[in-house]
Structure 1
Amino acid sequence: MVEDNETLADGLSSILRSSGYAVDVVRDGASADAVTATETFDLVILDLNLPEMGGLQVLRAMRARQDKAAVLILTARGTTEERVKGLDLGADDYMTKPFDVSELEARVRVLLRRRAGLHSSSVQYGNVSLDLTSRTFSADGVLIDLPARELGILEVLFMRAGKVVPKDAIIQSLAGFDDDLSANAIEQYVSRLRKRLGPYGLTVRTARGIGYYLDKAAEPA
């Protein structure tokens, strides 16, 4: 999130974190440019009126680097000309302040779903389904209760079911700048997750030296 209004940035980032997202906040355009050049993000919520470097400059630089992160412009500048300019420069969505938080959350879900190549708010793999709106897993209509970290890992793997997800990508998806989440901790969470998924016919396989991927468990002999 790139927002120089501290109250808004703190409040909105807190709401998004409570919904299970890892959120990093920077408060000026130059910092946004630097961090998007060195880190990989799924989504950037970008204000336009920023100190040091304007939001449109940040967006232009991101797209010049072929940065594929979804960009949601969130700004007080709401003229048609501004909207067209932002979208033409590569923004995926545009919202004006003041805004409704529930609508913002819905747009965030849509952008993340679109970035993952999904066309529905529900993802099915084997006997288990993920509801992207409520961020819940179920099997045959029965909810699967998972601790927050394990739920986050399973969600990352589910969104790329069958594909290997590097450990670093999992850590980036779950942790902000200030969070201490190591590769060893991921291994422990994955080990617990395997035990929880066993009864539902799924498992997490290890791609040695790379990461993990979701797979259907072998049928018992």
Structure 2
Amino acid sequence: MFSFFRWLHIIGGFTALLVFWIPIVTKKGGKIHNFVGWLYVCAMAIVSISAFYMGGYRVLWDEHANAERVSFSWFLIFIAILSGASGWYGIRVLRFKKRQTPHRNMMDLFVSGLLLVSGVAIGIYGVMIQSPLITYFPLLGIFLGAIQLHYWLRNPVKRMHWLFEHFGGMIACCISTVTAFTVFGAPRLLNISSTNLLLWIMPSLILVPMLVGFNIYYGKKHIKKSLRS
């Protein structure tokens, strides 16, 4: 079963890595954007489920796992939650884009809450094993989980709020996709250290400015539409 899930993880991960940029650069709401977007979501669902299984297996049942493998597995579980929760959020905000009241769906609140709590837990674990990377990277999960809960539990305040939240959720999912590859895949392919801090922060350094630029661009675009109307 472990080998089966590992191959699923590899196939899903490479699929997501190959196509994640296409919905970003194509027309929003267009056929290509929607089709490839769903392909990416399905690939990331496979990645998240397989990563959660493999991480859980190493932690709970692998008697031969050493301390390094255990810490890697806990981080793999966190990456699975981060990518899964971000992708889930990015899709669900579209499902409820017409809402005008606080959102009380327990599944959505649970997923965002799980992201927040897991970020705190893995961060504490990182402090306990004195790993700066495992200590500080989960801050991203805490930040995103808090933002998601804040969005769900309040009345929408922005016009086209769902568009900005959708893009934010999917970019966060993309960050976890690229981060997982640069930390776990690239070191094996390029024979470099996976503890290199630049590997961990590079996806965020590239994709977060893209998210900010998107918000600025579409914010101005909708302001102009409002003035015209």
Pairwise same-fold verdict (TM > 0.5):
no
Q: Which has more strand, going by share of residues?
A: 1
Higher-RCO chain (CA-CA 8 Å, sequence separation at least 6)? 2
What TM-score do you get using the length of structure 2 for normalisation? 0.30
Structure with the higher fraction of residues in helix conformation: 2
